[in-house]
Amino acid sequence: MKKINIKKINIKKIIKICFSVVVLAVLIGGAFYYGYERGKENPQINIVRGVVNLENGNSEAVDFSLFWDAWKVLENKYVGAQKLDNQNLVYGAISGLVDSLGDENSVFFSPTDAKKFNQDISGQFYGIGAQLDIKDGQLMIVAPLKDSPAERAGLKAGDKIMKVNDKDTYGMIVEEAVKLIRGEQGTTVKLAISRDSFSEPKEFLIIRDIIRVPTIDSKMIGDVAYIHLYNFYEQSPFMFYQAAIEMALKNPKGLILDLRDNPGGYLDAAVNLAGWFLKSDSVVVTEEFGSGEIQTYTSYGNSLFKDLPVVILINGGSASASEILAGALKDLKGVKLIGEKSFGKGTVQQLETLKDGSMVKITVAHWRMPGGELIDKNGINPDFEVKISEEDLTADRDPQLDKAVEVIKGEISKMPSNLIPILNINL
């Protein structure tokens, strides 16, 4: 198996994104210009001005003239042909090319959409504050963001979005849904939500607001450190560093890592954080590419918490990078997972920026945990399954966190008092 140290990977050239997905606008339809020669038996030339074919000698296995035939039909017969935007037609053709893969995680972004996507990754945008994805063909909420309009309205991870402003979401892609849900600050969007506890879909009216993506919270629960990580975005490793040092100064006997409703982010951030809990050069995750190439990511860093008892909270909103970190600590350290089965997002997307600022996000590989299990579509089962009911939410109870405290205290009690580590924070 080929082993590549994560620190040697050129992330300036390739940015790999692990989350389910936060895309920002519906992609636009169309095609692009060109002139072509059609058939030897019935020769004629249809000229479409504006595009020159720069590649000769293409394979003759595909009759590309069908594309130009369709172009001419649109140009000559579409009722609004005189209003067609040529650049939008180009972007639509590329979008259709990517959509033909049948992979819901491979997406084309126009320059405007690419800019919005990058704004999301940087952590601020307008909307309701919920991560969306498609699972088993159904548009659903991966996780509402902390203190967002979605969370305040009562939306939950796993909620199925049946309608947006009375428009049926059947067959709708994430980008189209985001386009409908996004809007100006202070305006209202109506969602019809299906949930196991509902007898029929329930309407939620949500007022759009500026969304600032939270990253981390930390506190002490008795003699146990509690760190809640909300995403694996650019600032996550640094903010985790700050929280970890703050907690270490209080000399905790154990740690609860809360990855609930964490939809993921950068793979590099997940590998970075694994280095706090594992000894150096431990295999965190492997990527398997369609070519058969295998790329291995190993832990690095200070290993500050490697001897400290740890438990992890997960739920259906824990996806991709969250599953990588939780899976690695479960397989390599026997860390107990508490809560509900994770989302099951285990494919690798690579961003390629095109020359006009548009981007293609394409699936290039899938992940395996250190124990060999595939994450994608499988998810990770908790060691202790604990659900949160509607009554718990109403009463502001958190039985999952209560169970985590119980389990971590049990783990601490198993350690002789003279073996409980004193954390060395001279990093």
Query: How confident is the prediction along the chain (427 residues), in pLDDT tens digits per residue?
Result: 444 343 433 333 334 444 333 332 222 223 222 332 333 344 444 444 444 444 555 555 677 788 888 888 988 899 988 888 888 888 999 999 998 998 888 889 899 888 777 766 555 568 899 988 888 788 999 888 888 999 999 999 889 999 999 999 988 888 789 889 988 899 999 999 999 888 899 999 999 998 877 789 999 999 999 999 999 988 899 999 999 999 999 999 999 999 999 988 889 999 999 999 999 999 999 999 988 899 999 999 889 999 999 999 999 999 999 999 999 999 999 999 999 999 998 888 888 999 999 999 999 999 999 999 999 989 999 999 999 988 887 788 999 999 999 999 999 998 876 555 656 555 4
134: CB partners within 8 A, 6+ apart: 104, 140, 173, 174
355: CB partners within 8 A, 6+ apart: none
Q: Which domain holds residue 333?
A: 216-346+364-419
| 167 assigned to some structural domain | yes
Q: Any alpha helices (H) in 27-173, and if so which ranges?
A: 65-77, 86-99, 111-122, 149-153
62/211 Cα distance (integer angstroms): 46
Q: 325 and 197 share a domain?
A: no
Q: 200 and 222 share a domain?
A: no
pTM over 0.85: no
Q: 175 and 289 share a domain?
A: no
Identify whether the C-beta of residue 226 lies closer than 8 Å to the C-beta of residue 311: no
Cα separation values, 85 from 30, 98, 148, 149, Å: 9, 20, 36, 35
Identify whether the C-beta of residue 108 lies closer than 8 Å to the C-beta of residue 27: yes
Q: Report the domain count for the chain.
A: 3
| 408 assigned to some structural domain | yes
| 9 assigned to some structural domain | no
18: CB partners within 8 A, 6+ apart: 232, 264, 265, 266, 267, 270, 320, 321, 324, 345, 348, 349
Q: 336 and 401 share a domain?
A: yes
Domain end call among 109, 143, 173: 109
Domain end call among 166, 187, 212: 212
300/131 Cα distance (integer angstroms): 30
Residue 28 carries which DSSP code? Answer: P
Domain end call among 212, 245, 266: 212
Q: 146 and 227 share a domain?
A: no
Cα separation values, 147 from 151, 231, 388, Å: 6, 14, 18
DSSP string across 73-106? HHHHH-TTGGG--HHHHHHHHHHHHHHTT--TT-
| 424 assigned to some structural domain | no
102/110 Cα distance (integer angstroms): 19
Residue closest to 359 by CA, chosen among 79, 19, 15: 15
The predicted pLDDT at position 96 comes to 92
| 20 assigned to some structural domain | no
HSE-CB for 182 with a 13 A CA cutoff: 21
Provide the total of helices (H) and of strands (E) in the chain, helices listed first. Answer: 10, 22
| 19 assigned to some structural domain | no
Centroid of chain to Cα 215: 14
Q: 296 and 325 share a domain?
A: yes
| 426 assigned to some structural domain | no
Q: 259 and 385 share a domain?
A: yes
Q: 96 and 179 share a domain?
A: no
339/359 Cα distance (integer angstroms): 37
Q: Provide, for the chain, the percentages of residues in helix, strand and coil under a 3-state DSSP scheme, each rounded to the nearest 5.
A: 25, 25, 45
Return the active site residues: 320, 331, 345
Q: 151 and 244 share a domain?
A: no
Phi and psi at 9, nearest 5°, equal: -80, 135
CATH number of the domain bearing residue 146: 2.30.42.10
Q: 130 and 261 share a domain?
A: no
HEC profile of 193-247: EECCCCCCCEEEEEECEEEECCCEEEEEECCEEEEEECCECCCHHHHHHHHHHHH
Q: 240 and 202 share a domain?
A: no
Phi and psi at 258, nearest 5°, equal: -100, 110
The predicted pLDDT at position 368 comes to 94
The predicted pLDDT at position 402 comes to 97
CATH number of the domain bearing residue 337: 3.90.226.10
89/32 Cα distance (integer angstroms): 6
Q: 329 and 385 share a domain?
A: yes
Residue 59, judged by CB atoms within 10 A of its CB (0-12, 13-18, 19+), counts as: exposed
| 139 assigned to some structural domain | yes
